[in-house]
């Protein structure tokens, strides 16, 4: 098959979940003998035209100059180019800035869209933006031949809302096999003596609830917040939660650093509340983290009984004060690793995508 992947800032991953998905799927599909092209921003630090068998095409992306609207122009440039590539399948990762151009996608390619989470529910957006995103979701769904849901909750929602065929395929993660405590020296922490949050600093990720709970707790452990704290929201959090036990660190895409910080943490707090299977949560599971997650259907679908849950700052404070790596927690960690091996596994995920794509072009 000739496969195009649109909707990311490019590979290798230097940004987030969809970029990791494009990299993992693209390289595996290419290794299986398919021709794969991933569109990348012209500003991507990796400027080669090939990555592990995947063709990379850099297209002009003005986001760095004009902000969010630049994403729409970048998607338009990718979609226009796709019309001359004779793709059998185009995998659209997300829809927030591409769906307005949906009708420009080539009519002779099968359009498969990973619908991500419920973007229009994100509290960081005002009512007008939320209303636009709900329309964008509809445009993307109606303009696609097939929809991918990364969680059962999203699958159920899409089946109720749209007439398209919806197929559930989760994200994946890779188990950390060689933890290296020396990585911690740069961050001035010791194994087991810090808690960790890895997330974009946005309201729906419940960062403020976590910080308020840590502040209320009696624990002397430091809690490290890794994310884009130089934003307006991040600056507000730093002013409001000045506490020697709270430390903000700029987001990094150094996998060795992030994975080892996860592995050697005491508690990994996961506050995501909007969306399906969250890549950061899967990576925490794959790094043998003891997890305290926001109590919502998406997180419970992934973790089941293998985590502690919080709904308010008191739950956070209690977790910080009382959670220990006892036999019960170690069993939960073991169960989460089994879930990564048997379900949330990139090899299995790529095989499912390959089967879906092959069946869609018959």
pLDDT in tens, 224-240: 999 888 888 899 999 99
Which residues of the chain form CATH 3.40.50.2000? 2-170+346-360, 181-342
SS3 30: helix
CATH number for domain 181-342, candidates 3.30.70.260, 3.40.50.2000, 2.160.10.10, 3.40.50.300: 3.40.50.2000
Q: How many Å apart are CA 31 and CA 26, to the nearest integer?
A: 9
Q: What pLDDT is recorded for position 124? A: 67
CB-hemisphere CA count at 13 Å for 160? 6
Question: Residue 253: its pLDDT value, please?
Answer: 76
Question: If we measure between CA atoms, which residue out of 181, 168, 295, 194 comes closest to residue 246?
Answer: 194
pLDDT value for 121: 61
As a whole number of angstroms, the distance between CA 135 and CA 129 comes to 10
Report the distance separating Cα 195 and Cα 197, nearest Å: 7
CB atoms within 10 A of CB 60: 13
pLDDT of residue 107: 92
Res 34: pLDDT: 98
Helix (H) or strand (E) holding 39: strand 35-41
- The dotted CATH code for 2-170+346-360 is 3.40.50.2000
Residue position matching structure tokens 């591409």: 98
How far is C-alpha 42 from the geometric centre of its chain's CA atoms?
22
Alpha-carbon distance 283 to 323, whole Å?
A: 20
Q: Report DSSP state, residue 186.
A: G
**Which residues of the chain fall below pLDDT 50?**
none
As to burial, measured by CB atoms within 10 angstroms (0-12 exposed, 13-18 middle, 19+ buried), residue 61 is: buried
């Amino acid at each position: 098959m000739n496969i195009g992947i649109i909707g990311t800032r490019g590979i290798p991953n230097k940004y987030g979940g969809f970029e990791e998905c494009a990299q993992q799927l693209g390289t595996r599909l290419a290794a299986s003998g398919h021709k794969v092209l991933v569109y990348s921003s012209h500003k991507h630090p990796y400027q080669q035209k090939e990555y592990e068998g995947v063709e990379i095409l850099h297209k002009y992306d003005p986001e760095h100059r004009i902000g969010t609207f630049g994403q729409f122009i970048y998607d338009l440039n990718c979609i226009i180019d796709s019309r001359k590539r004779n793709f059998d399948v185009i995998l659209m990762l997300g829809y927030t800035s591409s769906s307005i151009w949906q009708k420009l996608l080539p009519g002779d390619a099968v359009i498969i869209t990973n619908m991500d989470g419920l973007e229009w529910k994100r509290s960081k957006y005002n009512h007008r933006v939320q209303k636009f995103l709900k329309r964008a979701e509809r445009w993307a769904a109606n303009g696609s031949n097939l929809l991918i849901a990364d969680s059962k909750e999203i699958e159920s929602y899409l089946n109720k809302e749209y007439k398209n065929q919806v197929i559930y395929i989760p994200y994946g993660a890779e188990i950390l096999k060689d933890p290296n405590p020396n990585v911690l020296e740069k961050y001035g922490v010791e194994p087991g003596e810090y808690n960790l949050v890895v997330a974009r600093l946005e309201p729906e990720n419940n960062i403020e609830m976590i910080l308020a709970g840590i502040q209320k707790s009696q624990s002397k452990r430091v809690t490290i917040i890794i994310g884009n704290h130089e934003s307006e929201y991040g600056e507000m959090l730093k002013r409001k939660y000045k506490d020697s036990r709270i430390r903000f660190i700029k987001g990094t895409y150094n996998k060795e650093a992030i994975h080892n910080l996860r592995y050697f943490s005491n508690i990994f707090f996961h506050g995501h509340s909007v969306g399906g299977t969250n890549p950061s949560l899967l990576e925490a599971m794959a790094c043998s983290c003891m997890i305290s997650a926001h109590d919502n259907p998406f997180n419970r679908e992934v973790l089941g009984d293998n985590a502690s849950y919080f709904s308010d700052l008191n739950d956070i404070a209690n977790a910080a004060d009382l959670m220990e790596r006892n036999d019960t927690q170690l069993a939960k960690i073991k169960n989460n690793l089994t879930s990564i091996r048997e379900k949330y596994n990139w090899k299995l995920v790529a095989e499912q995508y390959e089967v879906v794509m092959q069946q869609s072009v018959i």
